[in-house]
Amino acid sequence: MSLAHTILATLGDESYSGYDLWKKFSQTSKYYWQASQQQIYRELGKLEKEGAISSEIIPQEGRPDKKLYRITEKGIEILKNWLVEPAEPMAIREELLVKVIAAKLVPKSVILQEIERHRQIHAQQLSVYKEIEQEKFPDVSQLSYEKKCFYLTLRCGIRYESYRIAWCEEAIALLGED
């Protein structure tokens, strides 16, 4: 359900084409919702049919035409109604943990290397987020309400990666000892 709401929330600030939305989802929206290009195009089609968004074709030279989407009054109403309804915490599905549960079937080094690989991926992502934090949010107390909200999603990304790294380190330490 939330892909539609994420798109509506994004279109609430600015108009985007499907392609632009996809890029935005690959970059800044990454720390709260992920979606593929195909999913976004499909969802845009649905939202337009429902009347939550409208589109306008922008002709371009030397490039394919682009379809620029904007949110409608109806779309804003849909968003507002969704915002006041409570949401349940998301279901946890961690493939790495399933591997840890089945770990005894393969040599210990296989699992240890896989955990170490994940630690590195998360450490890499964490450093990207921390750079964004330093560059874009040097003084948090001066932020507007809206900017604070966006900042908090980045903070969640930072905390998420930190939690993953800490767990990987604990796992390597515990399983690595003989």
Residue 23 site contact among a copy of itself, DNA, none (CB < 5 to 8 Å, cut-off depends on kind):
DNA
Binding residue (CB under 7 A) for DNA from 15, 24, 32, 37:
37
Do 125 and 133 touch, CB atoms closer than 8 A?
Answer: no
Told to check if 17 binds DNA by CB under 7 A, we report yes
**Are 151 and 122 contacting, i.e. CB atoms less than 8 angstroms apart?**
no
d(CA 69, CA 56): 7
Q: Is 28 in the site for DNA (CB under 7 A)?
A: no
The set of residues, in sequence order, having a beta carbon less than 8 Å from that of 6 and lying 6+ positions away, is 25, 29, 32, 33, 35
Instruction: Name the nearest CA neighbour of 18 among 27, 9, 29, 7.
Output: 7
| Residue 123 sits in the site that holds a copy of itself (CB under 8 A) | no
The yes or no reply on residue 70 touching DNA (CB under 7 A) is no
Interaction of residue 102 with a copy of itself, rule CB under 8 A: yes
Q: What are φ and ψ of residue 9, in 5° steps?
A: -65, -40
CA 51: distance to chain centroid? 25
SS3 58: strand
In the complex with a copy of itself, the residue whose CB is nearer, 19 or 33, is 33
Beta bridge pairs of residue 68 = 56
Which of 59, 63, 90, 134 touches a copy of itself (CB under 8 A)? Answer: 90
Binding residues for a copy of itself (CB under 8 A): 2, 5-6, 8-10, 12, 30-34, 76, 79-80, 83-84, 86-106, 108, 110-111, 114, 117-118, 121-122, 140, 145-146, 148-153, 155-157, 159-160, 162-164, 166-167, 170-171, 174-175
Binding residues for DNA (CB under 7 A): 1-4, 17-20, 23, 34-39, 41-42, 44-46, 60, 62-67, 91, 93
